[in-house]
Structure formats: C-alpha cells, structure tokens
A and B are shown apart, each in its own frame.
Chain A
Amino acid sequence: MRYVKILLLNLQQVFEQRARSFVWFLLSLFGPLLMVLFWRGASTTISFSLISSYYFLLVIGGSLLMSHSEEDISLIDIQEGHLGNYLLKPFMYFFAKWTEEIPYRLLQGSFGILTLFIFVLFVHINISINFPKVLNIFIAIFLVIGGIILAQIYKTCLGFIAFWMTDAYGVFQLSDMLIFVFGGYIVPLFLFPHTVEMISYLIPFSYMIYFPVAAFVGLFNTQQLLLILLGQIVWISIFSLFYKMLLRNGLKAFTGVGQ
C-alpha cells in the first residue's frame, strides 16, 4: 500500500511537468512515424499493413515499456549522493526507483494510445492486432509486463556503473545504440539478415521492446510466445542477480556526500 501512495505522489509530480513528458513522447513517436512513411513508398513484397501496425504499436511500446532511469541513478543518486536518502528509508531501492519511473511510462504510454486512436479515427490507418487464440492475448500481456520489468532492472544495473565510473555517459550511449538496433526500432528483427536475427534473439534487448510489440502484431504462434516468455524470465533472473551483486559491491565503493 505504501508503494501505491508513493506512486500516486510521483504521478502528481509527473503531471506537473506534462509538457516535458510530451516532448519525450514525441521522441518515441517521430521515429516510427517516419518509418511508416518510408515503407509506404517502398517497392517491396512485405505487407504494408503488417509493417505499419508494427511501427504504430512500437510508438506505444517505446513510450510505455522503455525505462530511462539510468541517468537519474548515476547522476543524481550516485554522483550527487542522493542514494543515501533511499538507503535510510524502509523501501527497497529498486521499487522506490520503479515507482518514480512508472508514472512517466503511464503518462507517455497514454499519449501513445491516444495518438493511435487519433490516427485510426482521423487518418484512417489500418492497425491489425492479430490473436488466433485467446491464450495468446494473455501471453502477450505477460510479455508486456515482463518487458517493463526487464527494461527497469536492466537500466537500474546500467545506472550502477556510476559506482565505478566518473562519467558513464559513453556506456549509456552504447546501450542506447544496442537497444536502437536490436530492440527493433529500425526494422522488425525478422527483416534482419538471418545470422544477425538469430543473435538478436539471444540478447536481452529484443525482449524489452521487440517481442512484446511483435506479439500484438501476431508474428508468433502460441508455442513461440511461450518460448519468448521463458527467455524473458531467464533474462529477468539474470539481471536480478546482477542487480544484487552490483548494489552490494557498489555500496562498498559509494561515499555519500552530505552538506
């Protein structure tokens, strides 16, 4: 219950800066929209309906699923010493940060859903959400939840790098590059050359954005969806272990600075 209260307080703060959130949302919107226009004029055998559905759902996926906690954790909590405040409170650090991030995701995700409705109603775009079985809907919803959790744990671990590095900006940029390519922001991963496609299925980035979005487009059957869910659980477990290890060792290197 106390986490819900914190979540509501954070939600209030996020709404205070809704214009800023809207600009962040525009960032998630612009890339996929450009891709839709690009594919509209492309002479190709790939179904435009499939491609446009993918990119439009990516707008929601990008704004709802992808956490951006790493800079906050590294710059404010670790470098400026605010981590000390969290350590003294009776909350788990991970959940405290998550309750700060969720309101941003909810607001930007709702911008995404609203935009999708506007496009469907006024621009008459055709979005095909394809579920041959009811079970697939539930698995896809679990994949979305799994994607949110995985992205948050991954970004938290990434932020912890600041325990050992003075300037982690380069690492963050490197991570952004990998997410951009293997998260399916450029093209859906099934359009990659076969070997690269196989590699992208083995690394965590595709489980954060690509698979949850592609599941709604209907690119996978039930068996494949279950395998993806299993992969997601494996990556969440691996990063949970990393999280514990990094926090434990990082705290030994951390020096809180007070006034």
Chain B
Amino acid sequence: MKYLRIYWAIIKINTTLLFTYRANFYNAVIITTGWGIISIVSIFLLTAKTKSVYGWSRDELYLLTGLYSIVIGLFHMFFSSSLERFARTISLGNLDSYLLSPIDVQLFLSTKFFRPVSSLRLIIAIAFTMYIMHSMNIELSILNLTTFCLYILLGVILLYSIWFLTITLTIWNPNLSNLVEFLYNFSNLARYPPALLLYTKNLIVFLFIPLTLITSVPARLITGKVEPIETIGLVVFSFGLFILSRLFWKYALRHYTSASS
C-alpha cells in the first residue's frame, strides 16, 4: 500500500512536470509520436519488396511491429526515463541518498520517473495492432485477450530485466552511460522473428533469443500458432532474468564505492 501511494505521487508529479513547460510538452509529443510512426513506417518500407521473412508473412510482421510498439510504449512509460538516469546517479555518487531511503532501492531507481507522454505511442500502437488484426480477420475471445495481456506484461518484465541487468554494469564503469542508448537500439531486436537469430547458428547470438520472445509469443498466440514450449520459454525467461537482475544488483551494490567509484 505504501508503494502504491508513493507511485501515485510519482505519477502526479511527472504529469504536472510535463504540462509545466508548454514548449517541452510539444517537444515530447512530437518526439514520441514521431518515433511511434517511424517504427511503423520502417516495417512498411522493409517489407515493400518482400512477401515473407523467415516464414512470417507481411501481415504477421506488421503484427509483430504493433505488439513491439505496445511493449516498448509501456516500458518507456514506466521504466526507461528512470533507467536513463541510472548511470548519472552512480557517477555523481547520488546513489547514496537512494540507499538511505526506507524503500526498496531497485524499485525506487527503476520507477522514480514516469513518462505520461508515452501513452501517445501506446495509443498509436494499439490502434495499429487492432487494424492489422482486423485485416487478418483475427478475433480474440475474452480468455485469449486475458492471456494476451498477461504475455504483454511478461514481455515488459523480460525487457526490464535485460535493461536492468545491463545498466547495473555502470556501477563498475560509470563512464558507460551511453549503454542506455545502445539498449534503446538493442530492444529493436524484439520486432523481428526469433528465426532471424536461429539462422545464424551462433551460440553467442542465441543468447539474445529471449528478447525476440517478447513479441513473437503474443503474436503467435493471436494467430493461433503458439506452442507450449514458447509460452514456457517466455515465462521462464521473464521470471528467471528478473530474479537474476535482482541478484546481480545486490552483488553489484557490494562494489559500489560512493562518489569516488
């Protein structure tokens, strides 16, 4: 209950902040809408001269893009603003004040900033996904819709865990604040079918497969092609990586040496 009250306060503060400066507000709207549209336009451009990719039809690829935009929209709304500031917090030694606060540090660091403007990207993504589903004659039962929402939630947890695991590395090297920029780029992998990585037959590349499950499993659920192993994979990786990120964070904290780290 305490955490819900704190998060509600965070939402209110960040929403007020967004509307305080009008130019900033317009800026944020243009950027969010722009990237949302580009994400969709880019898949149209990529598939303009192709019928299918790794057995995924053009419509299925559009669906993947729509679902990716939903997951990334949710992730940007709840987490990415906070994680963006993570490296700076460490390099300036500000983590000390977080460590002294009477709430869970990982949770506070990950949710301190809320980005309400990302709801625009979410709306664009949901509208696009519904349009594609309509054009593919897909109808969801209430049970499927609930399962689908659950899969999306698992996808967000998985994405969060990968991001958190990676940026925890900045405890050792705070100079690597640009890792976040890389993660923005790296998350794009979730827009493509897992076969894209399986094709390489490379063990190191296979490590990235969990990321592709974020959208491919919900997409296959919608199209009625999902296999139990894929669902298990999504659940195991989501919870497994989340626990791993938590353990890694606890381990990393032992190496945090305040402002002089």
* Residues of chain B with a CB closer than 8 A to A46's CB: 49
Whether, in the assembled complex, A30 has its beta carbon less than 8 Å from a beta carbon of chain B, the answer is: yes
A38 and B46 form a contact (CB under 8 A): yes
Whether, in the assembled complex, A203 has its beta carbon less than 8 Å from a beta carbon of chain B, the answer is: no
Whether, in the assembled complex, B192 has its beta carbon less than 8 Å from a beta carbon of chain A, the answer is: yes
From B197, which residue of chain A is reached at the shortest CB distance?
A: A37
Whether, in the assembled complex, B38 has its beta carbon less than 8 Å from a beta carbon of chain A, the answer is: yes
Whether, in the assembled complex, B52 has its beta carbon less than 8 Å from a beta carbon of chain A, the answer is: yes
Q: Which of A45, A165, A177, A193 has the most CB of B within 10 A?
A: A177
B28 and A170 form a contact (CB under 8 A): yes
B48 and A191 form a contact (CB under 8 A): yes
* Residues of chain A with a CB closer than 8 A to B192's CB: 34, 37-38
From B202, which residue of chain A is reached at the shortest CB distance?
A: A123
* Residues of chain B with a CB closer than 8 A to A35's CB: 46
* Residues of chain A with a CB closer than 8 A to B182's CB: 23, 26-27, 30
* Residues of chain A with a CB closer than 8 A to B27's CB: 167, 169-171, 173
B175 and A191 form a contact (CB under 8 A): no
B30 and A170 form a contact (CB under 8 A): yes
**Complex alpha-carbon distance, A166 and B31, angstroms:** 17
B199 and A192 form a contact (CB under 8 A): no
A74-110 vs B, Cβ < 8 Å mask (1 yes, 0 no): 0000000000000000000000000000000000000
Known: A174-B30, A192-B45. A167 touches B23 (CB 8 A): yes
**Complex alpha-carbon distance, A169 and B42, angstroms:** 23
Whether, in the assembled complex, A227 has its beta carbon less than 8 Å from a beta carbon of chain B, the answer is: no
Whether, in the assembled complex, A244 has its beta carbon less than 8 Å from a beta carbon of chain B, the answer is: no
* Residues of chain A with a CB closer than 8 A to B185's CB: 27, 30-31
Whether, in the assembled complex, A17 has its beta carbon less than 8 Å from a beta carbon of chain B, the answer is: yes
Interchain nearest-CB distance for A195 vs B (Å): 13
A20 and B51 form a contact (CB under 8 A): no
A41 and B199 form a contact (CB under 8 A): yes
**Complex alpha-carbon distance, A234 and B193, angstroms:** 43
Which of B45, B53, B181, B189 meets A187, CB within 8 Å? B45
Which of A19, A41, A165, A171 meets B196, CB within 8 Å? A41
From B31, which residue of chain A is reached at the shortest CB distance?
A: A173
Known: A19-B176, A23-B182. A177 touches B34 (CB 8 A): yes
A43 and B176 form a contact (CB under 8 A): no
Interchain nearest-CB distance for B180 vs A (Å): 10
**Complex alpha-carbon distance, A53 and B180, angstroms:** 28
Interchain nearest-CB distance for B107 vs A (Å): 27
Whether, in the assembled complex, B35 has its beta carbon less than 8 Å from a beta carbon of chain A, the answer is: yes
Whether, in the assembled complex, B24 has its beta carbon less than 8 Å from a beta carbon of chain A, the answer is: yes
Interchain nearest-CB distance for B260 vs A (Å): 18
**Range of interface residues on chain B?**
35 or more
B33-51 vs A, Cβ < 8 Å mask (1 yes, 0 no): 0110010011001101111
Whether, in the assembled complex, A199 has its beta carbon less than 8 Å from a beta carbon of chain B, the answer is: no
**Complex alpha-carbon distance, A34 and B30, angstroms:** 27
**Complex alpha-carbon distance, A94 and B192, angstroms:** 41
Whether, in the assembled complex, B119 has its beta carbon less than 8 Å from a beta carbon of chain A, the answer is: no
A174 and B199 form a contact (CB under 8 A): no
* Residues of chain B with a CB closer than 8 A to A15's CB: none
Whether, in the assembled complex, B236 has its beta carbon less than 8 Å from a beta carbon of chain A, the answer is: no
A43 and B188 form a contact (CB under 8 A): no
From A37, which residue of chain B is reached at the shortest CB distance?
A: B196
**Complex alpha-carbon distance, A166 and B21, angstroms:** 11
Query: For chain A residues 91-147, which have a beta carbon within 8 Å of chain B?
Result: none
B34 and A173 form a contact (CB under 8 A): yes
A23 and B196 form a contact (CB under 8 A): no
Known: A177-B34, A177-B38. A23 touches B46 (CB 8 A): no
**Complex alpha-carbon distance, A42 and B181, angstroms:** 28
**Complex alpha-carbon distance, A124 and B256, angstroms:** 43
From B23, which residue of chain A is reached at the shortest CB distance?
A: A167
* Residues of chain A with a CB closer than 8 A to B19's CB: none
Query: For chain A residues 173-203, which have a beta carbon within 8 Å of chain B?
Result: 173-174, 177, 180-181, 186-187, 191-193
Residues of B participating in the A interface, judged by any CB pair closer than 8 Å:
21, 23-24, 26-28, 30-31, 34-35, 38, 41-42, 45-46, 48-54, 173, 175-176, 178-179, 181-182, 185-186, 188-189, 192-193, 195-197, 199-200
Q: List 13 A-B contacts (CB under 8 A).
A: A19-B176, A24-B178, A30-B185, A34-B188, A37-B197, A41-B195, A41-B199, A42-B50, A167-B27, A169-B31, A170-B24, A173-B31, A193-B48
Residues of A participating in the B interface, judged by any CB pair closer than 8 Å:
17, 19-20, 23-24, 26-27, 30-31, 34-35, 37-38, 40-46, 165-167, 169-171, 173-174, 177, 180-181, 186-187, 191-193
